[in-house]
Structure 1
Amino acid sequence: MQPQADVETTLLGPILPDRECGDCTACCTELTVNTPEFAKPAGTPCIHLSDKGCGIHAIRPRICRTWFCAWRRVASLPDEARPDRSGLLVSLNFVDRPQNCLEGVSIHVRMLTGSDAIANGMAATVLDGVCDQLVPVWFSDGSKKMLMHPDTDVARFVLSGDAAPQDLQDEVAAWREHYAVFGANH
């Protein structure tokens, strides 16, 4: 049983049959892997990564066989949003001890080293493609992590527990209800 895969499918959708990783190996370097079978720190290339891709692809660890970036799941992301083309790696993020309710389960858009995704507009395109549901979206440019969705006013009321103004009450209530399991006030 793989609960994270179920959450990923529920929140991001199933694997799209017409999208393949191809030459993209961004996840093999960018992500932290910490499973009993295999571990590596974020920002460090996998020991099995070669100039031709995964050196053990046929027998790669389970996490590598079952994990897929959001580009492989979110149909609204254009083909150019594949991580090696866009300079952005988008994934569902799970934080064991979140600082607040908007960090427990969220979409994380990571800008890869050397990316010009902000300047060329791809970051805006990708953010538009994933900021459309009750899932927090964080953007990291390598130096800081910023909450992009919900917007600042909604997030402030969700996190503070304060009464929201009339025009935000329904949205704030929906976020609070959806993320109550993570505790709104940390």
Structure 2
Amino acid sequence: MSTEPDLETVLLGPVLADRECGDCVVCCTVLTVDTPDFKKAAGIPCEHLVPGGCGIHQVRPHICRTWFCAWRRVASMPDAARPDRCGLLVSVNFVREPRNCFEGVSINVRKLAGSDAIESGMADIVLDSLCEGLVPVWFSDGSKKMLMHPADEVARLVISGDPAPPHLSDEVAIWRKHYGVFSTNG
């Protein structure tokens, strides 16, 4: 058994001991699951959901035992940011064939259908808690996906490969160093 931390732990931190899923089952409906031992389509409630949660909790598949949304890992996210309370699901996203270097591995903030997270300001609070590190952050409102971090000007320079002006050169260089592996421009 490996003692190396998984990528989600490296990017978001360990699961916080003082946060429990409780009766939140957003991930059990919203996410796609495609593992050897369990498959479920996005937007479809898991076949094992029953009133009050998971009907097979004690014997649930490995992915369900080991995956946790960002609210369970990021201490700077407020308690009110639990997905069922705020209408946002935050997770690490892996894209096999990214369109740009910021899509390969990133944090994805999904606004859930019917959520008022934008109007209530919760989306801003959650994004502020995530947009400080060296991990791209995307926001999806259900109709479009927008890069929120790094800033547009930095992202354009990183993707294009164009020289950065002096006031952005250090930041652009750091992003290029870390995300150049996902570059689509050679």
Q: TM-score, normalised by structure 2?
A: 0.96
Give 1:185 deviation, angstroms. 2.1
Conservation of the 8 A alpha-carbon contact between 1:5 and 1:66: no
Q: 1:90 to 1:5 in 2, by over 3 A?
A: farther
For residues 4 and 76 of structure 1, the distance between their equivalents in structure 2, rounded to whole angstroms, comes to 24
User: 1:40 Cα shift?
Assistant: 1.0
Amino acid at match of 2:129: G
Q: 1:73-88 residue pairs with structure 2 within 5 A?
A: 73-88=73-88
| 1:40-119 → structure 2 map (5 Å cutoff) | 40-119=40-119
Residues 140 and 146 in structure 1, CA contact (< 8 A), matched pair in contact too: yes
CA distance in 2, matches of 1:99, 1:147: 12
Q: Cα RMSD (Å) of the superposition?
A: 1.6
Runs of 4+ in 1 over 3 A off after TM superposition: 1-5
- Gapped regions of structure 2 (runs ≥ 5): none
Question: What are the ranges of 5 or more consecutive residues in structure 1 without an aligned counterpart?
Answer: none
Label 1:97 to 1:38 Cα distance change in 2 as closer, same or farther (>3 A).
Answer: same
Residue 58 of structure 1 aligns to a residue whose secondary structure is helix
Query: Does 1:164 find its partner at 2:168?
Result: no
CA deviation string 1:117-172 (max 9, x = no partner): 00000000000000011100000011110000001000000000111111111101
Mapped partners of 2:69, 2:185: distance in 1: 30
Cα pair 1:5 1:67 within 8 Å, conserved? no
Q: For residues 153 and 132 of structure 1, what CA distance do their matches in structure 2 show?
A: 16
Q: Percent identity?
A: 69
Q: CA deviation at 1:42?
A: 1.0
**Is the contact made by 1:48 and 1:55 (CA closer than 8 Å) also made in structure 2?**
yes
**Structure 1 residues 3 and 146, CA, compared in 2 at 3 Å: closer, same or farther?**
farther
Matched-pair contact (CA < 8 Å) for 1:161–1:184: no
Give the letter aligned to residue 133 of structure 2.
Q
Alpha-carbon spacing, 1:4–1:157, altered in 2? closer, same or farther (3 Å) = farther
Question: Alpha-carbon deviations, 1:72-122, whole Å to 9, x = none?
Answer: 000000000000001000001111111111000000000011100000000
Q: Distance in 2 between matches of 1:155 and 1:65?
A: 35
Report the counterpart of residue 27 of structure 2 in structure 1.
27
C-alpha distance in structure 2 between counterparts of 1:125 and 1:176, whole Å? 27
The size of the alignment, in residue pairs, is 186
